[in-house]
Structure formats: C-alpha cells, structure tokens
C-alpha cells in the first residue's frame, strides 16, 4: 500500500468580535439583527467529516464561527490518470484516509474525542460508496464516544462555508432575501434562502439540466490535455489567451423540464443551466481547426516530464489553444453570471452567495464582483481553500442543528440524491 500523499492543513485563525452571528428574518428587505449565536448560546466544538466525492476531510469549528482546524486529503493523484473521479477508487481512498485525517484534525485543534461536543457528517448528495465511508465512520465514532451525531446536506455545507468565514471576519448581518449559487464538479444550483427564526429553508430556483459547470471545465481540460483537475488548470492558462477569439453561444432555458420530478409550480421564474453542449462545441472547434495534432504533441511532451507543473502546460500550449481555453472560460463565466443575476432580479434578492469549487475561479469572482457592484448587490464568496470540498463547512452547517437539538437517529443512512429544501 502506498503512503498517503501530503494533507493540506489550514492553520487556525483567531476570531474577532463578540459572539453573535447573522440570521435572516423572513424575506423582508432590511438588515436583520442577529437572533442566533448571540452570546446566550453555549460554545460548541463540532468535528465535521466530509467524504461525498474525492476529498476526505475533517475539521473542528467552534460555534459555526471559528475555524479551529481544517484537514483535506485530496485524491487528485489517484484520479488524474483517468481525467475524472473513479467512484470505486474514491471509496477505497476514503477508507485509507479517514482515520488519519480525523486524528489530524483533532490534533491540530488540540481536542480529543472527549472534548468535542458533537460530530457532523455529510449525508448526501454525492457518490454512494464515498458517502458511506464517512457516514459509517462518523456513526461508529459518535456511538463509541457518546457524542451526538448531526447529518448535513453537502450543498448546505457549501453555503455555510461563506457564512463561517464572514462571521470569522466579524460580519454578523446578512440582508435578505439571499440567493446562493452552488457551483462545483457535481452541482450547479441556485437556491433562494429563506430564514425563519434560526432554521434556514431553501427553494430550488434553478439548476443544471445536464452537466455541472465544473464537469465542463474538467472535460474540456481532458480533451485538450491540460491536466487534472481541469478548473484550476484552465483558470491559469486562460490568462494567456484572448477571451474574444471564439464565440460560444448559450441558450436561455425557460421551457419545462422533461423530467416530471423536476417540475415546479413556479417554473416561470426558474433560471436553469446546461453545460453539456459547450463540450461538444469545443470538440467540434478542435476538429474543424485541425488541433488534434497539437494535442497529441502536448500529451507526448508532458508525458516525458516526471511531475509537470502549470508552467510546463503553458509552455506546451500554442496560442490557438490558449485562445480557445480563454474563450471557453469566458463563455462559462458569462453564462453563470448572467443567469444568476437574472435570478437575483426575478427573486428580488439583496445578497448573493457564490460557493463550490468553481467559485475559486478568478474570472468568475471578478465578473460577479463587477456586475454585482453595478447592480448594488452584496456578493460573498468563501476563500479559495473553503470553495472546494472541505469539512469545516459541514461542521459550520451543523451548528444551528446542534442548537436546535436536531440529532441523527442511529439508523441514519447515506442519500446519494439528497435534495436541499
């Protein structure tokens, strides 16, 4: 058995300010004073565990507002040869990593099993086999050390990554209504967040009809031999190309979803996405512009290097490839930003949260910031390290449930298709 590759550590950061957090009041358009986390509630150290896809992660978060420790073991190295996540390999890697990752998160936090208050774990959505590893481990641990177990929806976790860091910065208020774009390798979702006396409710006001945005980044990078994961690779290379070189049109999707399960009473105000077409458009461009040979040459050049870095990929790209990459990213960003801002207007949202792995994209952040400031909209992102999968967001999302005493039953099971409501 190989030894585990190095684990990413995030040093703990001091928290400033008093013990108060932000919580919404209905859908009224005004600054909502804190009703939750207001200093009267107990401090709680929650151990979060996340294993829904290709990261084995554990973290300790104090009271939803202080990142005490954060350990992420990413499986990039395992999946890189395949250009995408292989579910069986992901489960096996989680099995190898779960115990050392959890121990490391507790050690970094200076906590023991006895000095944490609860264990939070991702219940879904995600890969069934991957989810089961984290969930079974968390259940067994909770039982053995007699701590309450809290089940968390992975998508709600991504939303709480933003809230955790805003609270940590001392930002305790949030203007409602809030719209959240969760955009990653597995999800592209728009949720309207409705805050009702502490418990948040989520309304799905748009999602992808086919591929997630991160999946399009990964598949285009694979087609062009640009490395894995594709998102960060394209983010870097796009800075060297002309984003106007190739036009990729996207359709507005307003027609009803063919799947009856996905139909909603308020379909008229939905804003959906579709990212399978752009992959085919990039493939067609490659074929009609005779780029196959350049791709083969790049593949051979990079295969000759032991561990190529992003500058090696840049050196192996001709200008036509860099222009294509920049244009692809520009089109993706433009579509994500325009459709999200359309939903902001349709839902009359005052605050926008953008989160998930693709929220790490530089052009996406700049574009959202520019367009949101033009429209007088507050927009928040997690830091790049909390944009991609992590367990701090799971521990943060668990805190309101800890306060409400919403603990999981012993028969808790994983739900690969869990919805956020």
- Residues forming the site for ligand ADP (CB under 6 A): 53-54, 184-186, 214, 217-218, 229-232, 235, 356-358, 360-361, 388-389
Residue 235's closest CA among 98, 47, 388?
388
Give which of ligand ADP, Mg ion, none residue 232 binds (C-beta under 5 to 8 Å, depending on kind): ligand ADP
Nearer to Mg ion, 74 or 347 (CB): 74
Give which of ligand ADP, Mg ion, none residue 327 binds (C-beta under 5 to 8 Å, depending on kind): none
Give which of Mg ion, ligand ADP, none residue 68 binds (C-beta under 5 to 8 Å, depending on kind): none
Nearer to ligand ADP, 187 or 401 (CB): 187
- Residues 218, 84: contact at Cβ < 8 Å? yes
Give which of Mg ion, ligand ADP, none residue 102 binds (C-beta under 5 to 8 Å, depending on kind): none
In the complex, minimum distance from the CB of residue 226 to Mg ion, in angstroms, rounded to a whole number: 18
Nearer to ligand ADP, 19 or 358 (CB): 358
In the complex, minimum distance from the CB of residue 50 to ligand ADP, in angstroms, rounded to a whole number: 10
Candidate ranges 16-24, 103-111, 261-269, 385-393; the one touching Mg ion (CB under 5 A): 385-393
C-alpha 30: how far from chain center: 28
Residue 230 and residue 361: Cα distance in Å, rounded? 11
Give which of Mg ion, ligand ADP, none residue 211 binds (C-beta under 5 to 8 Å, depending on kind): none
In the complex, minimum distance from the CB of residue 147 to ligand ADP, in angstroms, rounded to a whole number: 26
Give which of ligand ADP, Mg ion, none residue 361 binds (C-beta under 5 to 8 Å, depending on kind): ligand ADP
Residue with tokens 């952040």: 365
Candidate ranges 109-117, 250-258, 333-341, 386-394; the one touching Mg ion (CB under 5 A): 386-394
In the complex, minimum distance from the CB of residue 357 to ligand ADP, in angstroms, rounded to a whole number: 2
Give which of ligand ADP, Mg ion, none residue 129 binds (C-beta under 5 to 8 Å, depending on kind): none
- Contact between 389 and Mg ion by CB under 5 A: the answer reads yes
- Contact between 57 and Mg ion by CB under 5 A: the answer reads no
Among 19, 46, 49, 53, the residue binding Mg ion under the rule CB under 5 A is 53
Q: Which residues bind Mg ion (CB under 5 A)?
A: 53-55, 389
């Amino acid at each position: 058995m190989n030894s585990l590759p190095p684990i990413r550590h995030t040093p703990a950061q001091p928290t400033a300010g008093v013990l108060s957090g932000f919580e919404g009041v209905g859908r009224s358009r005004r600054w909502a004073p804190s009703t939750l986390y207001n200093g009267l509630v107990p401090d709680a150290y929650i151990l979060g565990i996340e294993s829904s896809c290709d990261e084995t992660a554990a973290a300790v978060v104090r009271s939803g507002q202080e990142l005490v420790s954060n350990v992420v073991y990413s499986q990039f190295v395992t999946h890189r040869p395949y250009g995408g996540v292989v579910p069986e390999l992901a489960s096996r890697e989680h099995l190898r990593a779960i115990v050392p990752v959890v121990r490391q998160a507790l050690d970094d936090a200076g906590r023991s099993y006895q000095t944490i208050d609860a264990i939070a774990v991702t219940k879904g959505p995600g890969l069934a086999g991957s989810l089961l590893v984290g969930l079974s481990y968390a259940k067994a641990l909770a039982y053995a050390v007699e701590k309450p177990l809290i089940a968390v929806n992975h998508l709600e976790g991504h939303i709480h990554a933003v809230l955790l860091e805003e609270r940590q910065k001392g930002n305790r208020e949030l203007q409602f209504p809030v719209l959240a774009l969760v955009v990653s390798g597995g999800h592209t979702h728009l949720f309207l967040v409705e805050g009702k006396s502490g418990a948040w409710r989520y309304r799905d006001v748009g999602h992808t009809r086919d591929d997630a945005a991160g999946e399009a980044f990964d598949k285009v990078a694979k087609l062009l031999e640009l490395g894995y994961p594709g998102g960060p690779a394209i983010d870097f290379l796009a800075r060297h190309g002309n984003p106007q070189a190739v036009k990729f049109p996207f359709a507005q999707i307003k027609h009803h979803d063919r799947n009856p399960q996905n139909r909603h009473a308020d379909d008229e105000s939905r804003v959906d996405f579709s990212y399978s077409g752009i992959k085919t458009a990039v493939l067609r461009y490659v074929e009609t512009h005779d780029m196959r040979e350049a791709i083969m040459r790049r593949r051979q050049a990079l295969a000759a290097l032991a561990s190529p870095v992003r500058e090696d990929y840049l050196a192996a790209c001709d200008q036509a490839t860099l222009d294509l990459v920049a244009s692809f990213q520009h089109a993706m960003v433009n579509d994500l930003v325009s459709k999200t801002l359309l939903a902001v207007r349709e839902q009359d949202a005052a605050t926008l949260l953008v989160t998930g792995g693709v929220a790490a994209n530089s052009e996406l952040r700049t574009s959202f910031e520019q367009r949101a400031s033009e429209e007088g909209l507050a927009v928040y992102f997690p830091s790049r390290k909390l944009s991609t999968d992590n367990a701090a967001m799971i521990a943060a999302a668990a805190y309101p449930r800890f306060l409400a005493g919403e603990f999981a039953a012993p028969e808790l099971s994983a739900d690969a298709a869990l919805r956020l409501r």
